[in-house]
Structure 1
Amino acid sequence: MTVSHSAHLGHEAARAPSTVDLTDCDREPIQHLGRVQSWGGLIAVNADWIVRQYSVNAPKMLGLEFDDLQGRLLTDLLPHAAHKLIRHQMASLENFDQNLRLFGLQLSADGGLFDVAAHRTPDGFILEFEPKRTGRHVSDLSLVQPMIQRLAQENDIGVMSEIAAENLRRLTGFARVMVYKFADDGTGQVIAEALAPSMSGYKGLRFPASDIPAQARALYKRSLLRLIGNVDDPGAAITPALNADGKPLDLSLAVTRAVSPVHLQYLRNMGVQASMSVSILNKGELWGLLACHHPEPLLMDYERRTAVELFGQLFAYELARTETAQENEAVLRGQDTHNRIMSLISSSSSWEENFDTIANIVQQRMPYDGIAIFSDGHYMSRGSAPSETEFHELARFLNTATGSRVYCTHHLGAVFPPASAFVDRVAGLLALPISRRPRDYLVLFRRELAQTVTWAGDPTKPVNTSGPNTQLSPRNSFSLWRQVVQGESQPWSLSEQRAAEALRTTLLEVVLKLTDQAEKDRKQAQERQALLISELNHRVRNILNLIRSIMKQSSHDAMSLEDFTQALDGRINALSRAHDQLTQEQYAPVALSDLIGVEATAFGLSDQARLVFEGNDIVITPEAFTPLALVFHELVTNSVKYGAFSSSNGRVHIAIHEAQDGSYVIGWTERGGPVVKAPKRRGFGSTVIERTIPHEMHGSAEVHYHSAGLEAAFTVPSNAVVRTQPFAAAADPLQAVKTTPPRVGVGIAHVDGPVLVLEDTMIVALDLAGMLEDLGSSDVRTCATVDEAFEILQSGFTPALAVLDVNLGGETSLPVAEHLAGLNVPFLLASGYDRNEAGIESYPPSELLRKPYTSSDLASTLCSLGFVQGA
């Protein structure tokens, strides 16, 4: 506990030069004081009922003619009937903590009536007796029943305590009755009280643990009622002081046991002349006390005290019933929490995806200021919580503190000093282990709650000492004394701790659920990967075989190695461009104008007027795309070398029309170039132009070499065409493949701010960074892993945009995406998969940039996000 300020509202207790702490009272032998209170007598006998020790007031109280009782048989001291009844009843006591109670028993020769208490000791019995005060017209026990019935109607412990205090004051006549509840640290607080008009109140005040020392609390668990009739009563000594074994008589269970001088002075300092305490036990532990005070001496006979003790036991039972009902409600709420979490968490998701769901449900059960999940080394937090770096150190502490149990503290700095560095955010925590080793946690945090604790006097409790034996004297001030406590949070209640244990079980089930689904996902991913590898292997073999054939045929035409290299490079690049166009559209049909435009642009042709389209464009199937790409590559190549494109004024007209049989005729006409002559020999290029479409597509091809320019007509069957569309949809086929940022919507793509690129392939990352710099960004940070991304983000770098590769080898970029979404930072997902594949559907809403992509694709996607010049 950190105390920053204290104020004493009242008079300071005078302090002698020599002081000691009253916790020395913990060592005071209060069960061996060797005296009884004078309102009762005591006789201790051995197993043969021979007197071993007795109180010096016993002979007179019993009306005996002799004073020395030691060594006498009990039968010589008591009437035969009383002795017989006591011996018979004592036989029913089974253990040392049981008391025998007999009321109105004749013990003296003059017929005097006594109430008797007796209990067993290891070597005999202790018999106590006190004169019967008055007769009863109404049974004391009958008064208890309606009091308990009233309590049973309530379900609030505070209300029940107020009712108990008021009823007990009426039953006993004490001027002040308090319900005093112990805290875990031994301190106590008055939670309810009933007062006579003349008495001051203590409700709400705290008392230090040393006010009721440990050995006194232990006795309260064994002896449930304690009466002090008069604090100034000198009492009666036990004689002899030591038994035959040289030990003082153990008075732990004696109802007449005298009182510690320190405690008597404590009561005098409070203005109390008589007191009574009734223990409240809950599950065998001391929950609290019913504490009764009176400003004058007050005796109460044993029969009524027994009724009071019964009331205390029944009150404890009602408290336990209420707490059990609250616990049962907590169990039901816990089951409801379990069901909600299990129903809302998808088995195909992860901790990251479920974090907000869990956080919201947990907060309804256990209020917190911050929450974090630490799983597989990844840290997610919300609200007032340590940073990831701070938590890694805290996690090492939790690994030593929790075992497999829930761990909580409301003063983290006291057990983990490094927490002082973030006490402004976290003062208390409740940690739930949710895995084995290495241990993962769900942790709830609470902020510092500066609070004022009001004590009944100074809790540091210095005391006076006097005399050569350093006699203790308790404080004499019970005025209000306040502490302002800092560095602590609101404590975690017992019900919250139990709820946390139940929640931990639920989260372990979630772990099993997610682990099982992750195993299924891994298996499915392996199956998809095997299928993909098989398909890729098939396609690669076909491509390699095609390239081999192209190489062989190209070598026949080459006049030199340079010619061969140039021709081969052009044809392979044509295949590559065709493949790129298909993959960009996911092997969807592609317009013929796009195919021809890509080829023309590859040769540096950027003048739209030199490539003229007439008729309707045709959208061709993926199967027809590769052979047509080879044909038009050869046509463009020849035109650049020998035909219309070799002249600055040359043009190519492409006319497409549908034939009567449903096939499509593609006309190629060159004008404005040099005079054309038919070749003397047919090379591989001519063979491709004339034979590819008839051979692979079952169409036809006609080529004519007119002096004004080459003319060709190709007929492709209807099954190679998906649909027709106006050329207006692609009015400038060259424009579609230009690398300058296109105008999309109402602006041109522009990035004004820093960008984070998460991509595990270096070449791709560098290429993408270059594209982003061309689009205006002056600060592009690249990284390859999730950890590297978080390291950049936590260094103070705040991006205006992020581009995230979905698959990063052994992990995905999902944690980074969720973090950026929480910061409202827009991002693109780069992937070769569709949005509904490979877990992309689990990402926060975002734009998808399909791989492979060009700067044009990137610019278009950025415009859709609003990254437009001038925006």
Structure 2
Amino acid sequence: MDLSNCDKEPIHIPGKIQAHGFLIVMDKQFVVRFHSDNLHTFVPNMPANILGEHVTAIEPLIGTNEPPNFISQLILFGKNNGFEQTNPFNTDIQGKPFHLIISSSAEYYLLEFEPARSDSETDVQRAIGRSLSEMLTDKNLQNLLKNSVMQVKSVIGYDRVMIYRFAEDGHGEVVAEAADDDLQSWLGLHYPASDIPQQARELYKRNLTRLIANVNTEPSGIVREDNGDVTPLDLTPSQLRAVSPIHIQYLKNMGVASSFSISLIYKQELWGLIACHNYTPRFIDYRSRESAKLIGQILSSALEFRQDEENQFIQERYKTAVDQLSRLMLKDNEIEVALTGNPVTLLDVTDAKGAVLVFENNIKKLGNTPADNQLTELIGWIKANINESVYYTHHLSAEFEQAKAFKEVASGMMVLTISKELGEYVIWFKPEQLQTIVWAGNPDKPAEVSSNGMMQISPRKSFEEWSQTVTGTSKPWGAEEVKSIVRLKSEISYAINQKAGAIRLLNERLKQAYEELDTFSFTISHDLKNPIAVIKSYAQILSRDKELKPQALKALDRIREGADKMNNMIEEVLDYSRIGRSEPVTTDIDVSQIIKDQVKDLVLVYNAENTRITIGGTPRIQGDPVMISQVFANIISNAIKYSMKSEPPVVEINGTENDLEVVYTVTDNGLGIDIKQLPRVFELFHRMDNVGDIEGTGVGLAIVKRIVEKHKGKIWVDSELGRGTTFSIAFRK
């Protein structure tokens, strides 16, 4: 193992624990199956072999002053209410106070015993309250981080406390620091992603604090029952889990004897760490660690609030620009003029410094762009290589080597594909942003050859500053910029469909493709229904055989369920096909009644009585009542389905109107959609990666989009992973 493959190190199953405590592992029947080999160091009168014994046989030796069956009672309470309600349980072993921490891992319960006294003389739990108000005194993000490290250092007394922020590529930077005066500052230093590999970052999301009490003590092995099972014991939730030998060596190379970290979470992802180093061994008891975790949680909330506030401001600025361009496109006869010839242009929907519109065999440039001959070559590369409807990179020359010639104006590029067939695009450019990154040692030297000729597994022995100038990259494209472009794409497509008519080649091809798809889907779907009915009928006949075993009957039930599922999918494909061939019968529609009926039915279907559904304005619209009912049924059912795991699930339905259109929005607080998936939301048979086992065929939203377009309306989506989704539908008056 060296740093070239340490991202594969199985750190969650080390087979050892840190030696300052001991571990006993029971199965669900409370029978001991594992224990740490230092057990008898802490409990000398424990029998030599307790493997296979029921926990009641050892309880009196662990908790001499505890009531009978206290461990099983703790586990029962923790199963019903969460182990965070029981942890830590105060007990004493050999007359010394200990904390018992219980967690669940697969089919086992982990019982971890740690001393209940810290090396620190500070009462961490009391000091936390005073420190939180000091942390949050400044609204400036950098000052907030600086205040935080100072307060954490004053509370836990470590020699050095840093806030370590992760970049998108996994490498980290020290963005705030409080250290003893005799220590060299590490503020601003960068560390390669291999220092904290991906699997370690995932564990930091699960375990919000991590203590390494003494890097110089030997970890204790885990003794297991000799029953032939060699499955490693998963110590993911463990407090005592041993540390990777690579990381131990890494800390030793820095002279660090003890470390403590608190995770910082933003949008359910690991934003960074409060990383604490001490140059002598230092133990912090469980209660103090839990109190310190509160600092991380409050700082995480403050970070999220500050970032959301900033994102909201940016989002409003981009939204205003997209709305103005949308109005201009519908008002102006020339889409090119609407996008490039007014005070608000394509440049206002992102933070790009240059933009190019390639439309109807013309190229229109705005701001700083590559030269004409360079653009011609770049557009040719885009046609040959870019298949996504929205593509972006902040390191263009890494993808298109010729871009090095114009990296000063176009190191970053975002492409919105209007029509790949016609070679029509909007392209935005960001200039090169030279960066000098100061690394803590050369990041390109992951391992060294030791005196015996073997590769050294330690990351680096030298942590001297090593500077690297990064060229050919721009400021990265932000999530709000990508959302803005996705929205603009919808507005451009809508304007083109309204104005271009039959003269545009793209519309002709789309029409032909739709007709062919309709014919194909209708024929295939119709031909498939008969064999599916036969499969289901034979399965029903076979299930009447009373001599069949339960396993066979279960298989027949699965066959019938599969046949029903396929039949439902075929019906949806037929619906999609029928909509393509039929024209809406337009009347004045009372949308309020449609929504109320759909909500009432869907709450019963999904057993969603606990979902908080609010209905705001419901202005009337013109349309086909059957088709419009299908639109709201699909959108509202998705909102209910994908928010059911939220606490509490919330769905909001609201309609507004102006002189031109009526806009309905359906908002939920559910799973959300990855920003990279947004351009494909309305594609036929496309489902998001995070839907899991939630039922669906991937046809519903394609049907919705087709119905809305039949009504000369438009539909778009705004979503954020883990934060919910908003679908907006605009109907023309």
Q: Deviation of residue 181 (structure 1)?
A: 1.2
Question: Aligned letter for 1:488?
Answer: T
RMSD over aligned Cα, in angstroms?
3.4
Q: Note if contact 1:41-1:128 (Cα within 8 Å) is conserved in structure 2.
A: yes
For 1:249 and 1:202, how far apart are their aligned partners in 2? 37
Q: Deviation of residue 388 (structure 1)?
A: 4.7
Out of 486, 493, 497, the position equivalent to 2:471 is 486
Change (3 A) 1:309 1:471: same
Q: Which residue of 2 aligns with 1:457?
A: 441
Q: Note if contact 1:151-1:163 (Cα within 8 Å) is conserved in structure 2.
A: yes
**Alignment of structure 1 residues 640-659 onto 2, 5 Å:** none
Q: Which residue of 1 aligns with 2:367?
A: 383
Q: Note if contact 2:89-2:101 (Cα within 8 Å) is conserved in structure 1.
A: no
Q: Which residue of 1 aligns with 2:160?
A: 176
Q: Which residue of 2 aligns with 1:102?
A: 87
Q: Deviation of residue 89 (structure 1)?
A: 3.5
Q: Deviation of residue 128 (structure 1)?
A: 0.4
Change (3 A) 1:89 1:66: closer
In the alignment, is residue 226 of structure 1 matched against residue 210 of structure 2? yes
Out of 317, 320, 334, the position equivalent to 2:318 is 334
Moved more, 36-45 or 53-62: 53-62
Q: Which residue of 2 aligns with 1:429?
A: 413
Deviation string 1:280-314 (CA, Å, 9 cap, x unpaired) is 22222222111111111111111000111222122
Q: Note if contact 2:411-2:472 (Cα within 8 Å) is conserved in structure 1.
A: yes
Q: Deviation of residue 173 (structure 1)?
A: 1.1
Aligned residue pairs total 499
Decide which structure has the larger Cα Rg and report it.
1
For 2:496 and 2:83, how far apart are their aligned partners in 1? 51
Question: Aligned letter for 1:311?
Answer: I
Change (3 A) 1:322 1:25: same
Out of 43, 46, 61, the position equivalent to 2:27 is 46
For 1:82 and 1:402, how far apart are their aligned partners in 2? 69
Q: Which residue of 2 aligns with 1:442?
A: 426
Percent same amino acid among aligned pairs? 31
Q: Which residue of 1 aligns with 2:76?
A: 91
**SS of alignment partner, residue 293 of structure 2:** helix
Q: Deviation of residue 68 (structure 1)?
A: 2.9
Out of 14, 22, 35, the position equivalent to 1:33 is 14
Deviation string 1:149-174 (CA, Å, 9 cap, x unpaired) is 45555544323222222221122111
**Alignment of structure 1 residues 171-570 onto 2, 5 Å:** 171-240=155-224, 244-342=228-326, 347-357=331-341, 361-363=345-347, 366-395=350-379, 397-398=381-382, 403=387, 405-434=389-418, 437-438=421-422, 440-466=424-450, 472-511=457-496, 515=500
Question: Aligned letter for 1:24?
Answer: N
**Alignment of structure 1 residues 533-612 onto 2, 5 Å:** none
For 1:321 and 1:360, how far apart are their aligned partners in 2? 30
Deviation string 1:60-84 (CA, Å, 9 cap, x unpaired) is 3235343433222222222474674
**SS of alignment partner, residue 278 of structure 1:** strand
**SS of alignment partner, residue 256 of structure 1:** coil
For 1:156 and 1:361, how far apart are their aligned partners in 2? 32
Moved more, 356-365 or 458-467: 356-365
Change (3 A) 1:285 1:116: same
Deviation string 1:202-226 (CA, Å, 9 cap, x unpaired) is 2211111111122212221222211
For 1:242 and 1:271, how far apart are their aligned partners in 2? 40
Q: Note if contact 1:192-1:203 (Cα within 8 Å) is conserved in structure 2.
A: yes
Q: Deviation of residue 465 (structure 1)?
A: 4.3
Question: Aligned letter for 1:182?
Answer: F
Question: Aligned letter for 1:132?
Answer: A
Q: Which residue of 1 aligns with 2:587?
A: none
**SS of alignment partner, residue 410 of structure 2:** coil
For 2:402 and 2:269, how far apart are their aligned partners in 1? 35
Q: Note if contact 2:441-2:464 (Cα within 8 Å) is conserved in structure 1.
A: yes
Change (3 A) 1:287 1:424: closer
In the alignment, is residue 78 of structure 1 matched against residue 62 of structure 2? no
Q: Note if contact 2:447-2:455 (Cα within 8 Å) is conserved in structure 1.
A: no
Question: Aligned letter for 2:473?
Answer: E
**SS of alignment partner, residue 447 of structure 2:** strand
Extract unaligned runs of 5+ from structure 1.
1-19, 520-871
**Alignment of structure 1 residues 143-182 onto 2, 5 Å:** 143-151=127-135, 154-182=138-166
Q: TM-score, normalised by structure 2?
A: 0.62
Question: Aligned letter for 2:471?
Answer: Q
Question: Aligned letter for 2:281?
Answer: P
**SS of alignment partner, residue 91 of structure 1:** helix
Q: Note if contact 1:96-1:120 (Cα within 8 Å) is conserved in structure 2.
A: no
Q: Deviation of residue 503 (structure 1)?
A: 4.1
Change (3 A) 1:241 1:405: farther
For 2:24 and 2:144, how far apart are their aligned partners in 1? 40
**Alignment of structure 1 residues 440-839 onto 2, 5 Å:** 440-466=424-450, 472-511=457-496, 515=500
Question: Aligned letter for 1:200?
Answer: Q
For 2:14 and 2:396, how far apart are their aligned partners in 1? 43
Change (3 A) 1:247 1:462: same
Q: Which residue of 1 aligns with 2:675?
A: none
Q: Note if contact 2:215-2:248 (Cα within 8 Å) is conserved in structure 1.
A: yes
In the alignment, is residue 129 of structure 1 matched against residue 113 of structure 2? yes
Deviation string 1:506-536 (CA, Å, 9 cap, x unpaired) is 44455456548999xxxxxxxxxxxxxxxxx
Q: Deviation of residue 40 (structure 1)?
A: 1.0
Q: Deviation of residue 504 (structure 1)?
A: 3.8
In the alignment, is residue 64 of structure 1 matched against residue 48 of structure 2? no
Q: Which residue of 2 aligns with 1:827?
A: none
Q: Note if contact 2:347-2:355 (Cα within 8 Å) is conserved in structure 1.
A: no
Question: Aligned letter for 2:264?
Answer: I
Q: TM-score, normalised by structure 1?
A: 0.52
**Alignment of structure 1 residues 859-870 onto 2, 5 Å:** none
Change (3 A) 1:433 1:143: farther
Q: Note if contact 1:100-1:117 (Cα within 8 Å) is conserved in structure 2.
A: no
Q: Which residue of 2 aligns with 1:542?
A: none
Change (3 A) 1:336 1:152: farther
Q: Note if contact 2:163-2:273 (Cα within 8 Å) is conserved in structure 1.
A: yes
Q: Note if contact 1:379-1:388 (Cα within 8 Å) is conserved in structure 2.
A: no
Deviation string 1:251-301 (CA, Å, 9 cap, x unpaired) is 222111121222111112112111012222222222211111111111111
Q: Which residue of 1 aligns with 2:660?
A: none
Q: Note if contact 2:102-2:111 (Cα within 8 Å) is conserved in structure 1.
A: yes
Moved more, 243-252 or 216-225: 243-252
For 1:357 and 1:98, how far apart are their aligned partners in 2? 63
Q: Note if contact 1:100-1:118 (Cα within 8 Å) is conserved in structure 2.
A: no
Q: Note if contact 1:105-1:116 (Cα within 8 Å) is conserved in structure 2.
A: yes
**SS of alignment partner, residue 203 of structure 2:** helix
Question: Aligned letter for 1:293?
Answer: H
Q: Note if contact 1:97-1:253 (Cα within 8 Å) is conserved in structure 2.
A: no
